[in-house]
Structures are given as structure tokens and as C-alpha cells.
Amino acid sequence: MSPSIRRRLVLLVLASIVLIWGIALVSSYRQAKHEIGEWEEARLAELAQILALLDQRNLTTLANARIDVREEEKGGEPGASDSDDDDALPRDALFQVRSANGAVLAGSPQLRTLQAQDLPVPPLSGTQDMTLGGQLWHTFTLRDTALGHTVRVFEPANTRSDLVSGVASRIARPTLLALPVLALLVWFSIGWSLAPLKTLSGAIRVRDINRLEPVDIGRVPTEVRPLVDAINLVLSRLRHSVERERAFTADAAHELKTPLAAIKVQAQVALAEPDAALRQLAMQRVVQGVDRSARLAEQLLLLARLDAQEKMPAEPLKPAAIAKDALLANERNAQQRDIRVTLAGDLHAEINAEPVLLGILLDNLLDNAIKYGGTGGRIEVDVHHADDRVQLTVRDDGPGVAQGDLAHLTNRFFRATGTQASGSGLGLSIVARIAEHFDASLHIGAGIGGRGLAVQLSFPAYVEAG
């Protein structure tokens, strides 16, 4: 059976109620027993005082009669049941009165049967329990100093036990009758209190990939509000993820469509062109288109990995060393455009990053600077250690971009106004995602001499654990 909050709460509440009621019943029984005991002792003392005031003739008459100490006889009250606290057993009080010299003035004949007529008299007034004829009796002794008489009263012990049992029965009976009713009330009350969870589960059940709006079930209990807020937060994240995935897929399909169409056209030209030189040129353009498509696919896969928050293992490394490798990889492209690239700054500064991702970051920055910089211009790569940060800057002296385009340069597939060079518009987007991956801040501004573009990244400096 699957666990149920409702069933568990009902059982816990009922178990707690039964426990408390049980403790209350035991406490009430003990209190009733104590109070009835005190009352019975007072009654015996009162009976002894009455006997002490009687003369011998009346004592003799009373001894031969019956002193019935039952509170109510069987069926004494109309509608009384067998379970009520009636005194079913005979409860005759016995007594014995002695003179100052110890002679018995009067006494109940039953004391002879119980062999109790010659019992020693206690020296002081008070109560005492004893066994007579195999039965427990309560006794009270009264020493009357004025008359010199000693009165002793005997009463069967079952008087108190029956009365206490009756009181306890009358207390327990309504409690037991109320327990099933209380159980139903607890069951329905808890079910009504948990109804928002059922409503919430229904609202979540109808959600799918095309319906990810926040859950709204009206008034929400305080205890359920954190759950609703957490679910809405997850739905919001999922909705943004789906929207980003759809936008990414649409943009990727659009960007891949252009080079693929160009490759097809050039291949058709190569197939139809009889001139060998023109056919060779068309095939070279096919190769360039394939290279562009392959690079675009690699960049898209890298963005997909970064979007999935796939954490790459980091290690301490020197950005200047990675920059040297990136300069060598882009040296040919820089030479083709007669661009001079220099590396300066703190060559020993270290950050905590992943070498492949940092290499891709620098490769994209240099590729953009070479591609969009001016022919015969300059590119500066600078590594600077400032306090607890390491700043990596790539700047050029090209035409730059319009001020209104700066804020959009890291958007995917965005290309600045008036750009003539080929590209996918993913370079700076990849740079921004890699920077975010390693907790680096990104700033884009003016380049060398206020011209061109400068991209500055500020990484946390590597600190050796001590």
C-alpha cells in the first residue's frame, strides 16, 4: 500500500487522542478512588460518632438489626442498567462498642462468625484495613474520651471498588462512544485541509511542453505556497529553456541553410562548367562552404554543451600561453590581411579554467578582430593582473561598430550593421557563454586609440590553496 499523508495524519491524531484520553481516564480513576476513599472514611467516622451517642439498649437493638451501607440498591433508579454503579452485593456495616475497661457493651453477631469479636483495639482513633473471613474490611476506631467508650465500625472493602468502577465506567462510556465520531471528523477535516494538494496535482497533470504557464489554484494555504512557488519556478525555467531551444533550432536551421544553398549552387556550376579554371574555382568555393558549415556546426555544438550547463573540469593555467597558441593558429589569416598582432602584459598571471574552452574563446576573439579589423591594422592582446582579478583584453583599430549595436554583439546570430565579412554571428555569443562558465565578467568598448573594438574579460585570479 502506498503511503498516504491523510491516513498517516488520521492515525497520528487518533493515536494522540486515545493516549491523552487514556491518561485522563487513569488519572480520573485514581482521583475518584482517592476522593471516594476519603468520603468513605468520613462516613465511617460519622457512623462511629452516631453509635457513640446511643445507649446500650439502642445499641443492642441496632446490633441485632441490619445496618445497610449500600448507596443505592439494584434497580433503585428508573431506567438503571446492569452496568450502572449500583451496589449489588450486600454491604452491612458491623460494629462493636466497648466500655472503658474493655468490656463489650454491644456488637454485631456477625463478628463472632468472622472471629473478630475479640480483636485487639487500636490505641488511637483512625482507620485500618484487615482481612476477616477471607475478605478485606475497612475499619474505623473512635475513642470517646467523654464517655470512655471505644466504637469500632467494620465495612466490606467492595463498597469502594464498586463505586469507583461505576464512576470510571460513566466517564469512559461517552468517551468510547465519541471516538468513532471523532475519527470521522478527523478524517474529513484532514481530507478537506489536503484538498489544495489534490487541486495542485490536477493543475500540474494537465501541463505539457505546449502549456507551461504558472500554476494558479486560487487561495493557497501557507504550507502549500512554497511548493507552488517552487513548481512555478521550475515551469518558468523549463519554459525559457524550451523557448531558447526553439529559437536556437530555428536560427541554426536558418544559418545552415545559406551555406548549404551556396555549396549546392557552386557544385552545380562545377558540374555544368566546361572551362577547367572556372570549374576549379567553383570546387574551391564548395570547399570553403563546407569549411564554413563545419565551423558553424562546431560552434552550435559548443553552445549546446554550454547551455546544458555541462561543467568542464578546470585547472590553473596562464592565459598568455593559451594566447600564444591562438596567435599561431590565426597567423596566416592575419598575414593575408597585413594585420600585426602583438601580445603584452603579465605573461605569468594564472586563472582557473579549462584550456580547450579558453583556447576557443581566444580563437573567436582573434578571428573576429582579424575578420572585422581594417586591412594593414593592428591587434593587441593584453594580459593584466590587478588585485584578485586577471584581465584579458583583445583590441583592434578597425572601423568598429555603431554604438547602438554594442549591447547586441553577444546575441546569437547577430551581425552588426554594415558588416561585409562573412560569419555566423556566433563568435561573441560563444565568448560570453565561456566567460559566464568560468565566472568572468565581459565588457565591450572602443579599441586602439578610440577606434575599432575592444573585448575585455576579467577572470578570478588563481590562488594556490594553502
pLDDT in tens, 28-40: 878 877 777 788 7
User: Rounded to whole angstroms, how far apart are CA atoms 413 and 256?
Assistant: 11
Fold of 5-70+88-182: Beta-Lactamase (3.30.450)
Compute φ and ψ for 343, nearest 5 degrees.
-125, 130
Q: Which long-range contacts (CB under 8 A, 24 or more apart) does 124-131 make?
A: 127/41, 127/44, 129/157
For residue 147, give the 3-state DSSP assignment.
coil
pLDDT in tens, 56-114: 888 888 888 877 766 554 444 444 444 444 455 567 789 989 888 888 888 888 888 88
Domain boundaries, the chain: 5-70+88-182, 225-305, 314-460
388-394 mean pLDDT = 90
Which one is predicted more confidently, 320 or 425?
A: 320
Residue 111 contacts residue 125 (beta carbons within 8 Å): no
pLDDT value of position 85: 46
Question: What amino acid occupies position 137?
Answer: W
- Please give the mean pLDDT across all residues of the chain: 79
pLDDT in tens, 256-309: 665 677 788 878 888 888 888 888 888 887 887 787 677 667 766 766 666 655
Q: Please state which architecture CATH assigns to domain 225-305.
A: Orthogonal Bundle (1.10)
- The yes/no answer on whether domain 314-460 falls in CATH 3.30.565.10 is yes
% residues pLDDT > 90 (the chain): 2
364 pLDDT above the threshold of 70: yes
pLDDT value of position 236: 85
Here the cell at position 69 is 451501607
Element (H, E) at 263: helix 225-272
State how beta strands 389-396 and 126-132 pair: unpaired
Axis crossing angle, helix 195-205 with helix 158-193, rounded to the nearest 10: 30
pLDDT value of position 259: 67
447 pLDDT above the threshold of 80: yes
336 contact partners, CB below 8 Å, separation of at least 6:
none
Q: One fold for both 225-305 and 314-460?
A: no
DSSP labels, 346-405: -TT--EEE-HHHHHHHHHHHHHHHHHHSPTT-EEEEEEEEETTEEEEEEEE-S----GGG
pLDDT value of position 458: 92
User: Rounded to whole angstroms, how far apart are CA atoms 191 and 370?
Assistant: 70
314 contact partners, CB below 8 Å, separation of at least 6:
352, 353, 354, 438
How far is CA 264 from each of CA 55, 291, 293, rounded to the nearest angstrom? 140, 14, 12
316 pLDDT above the threshold of 80: yes
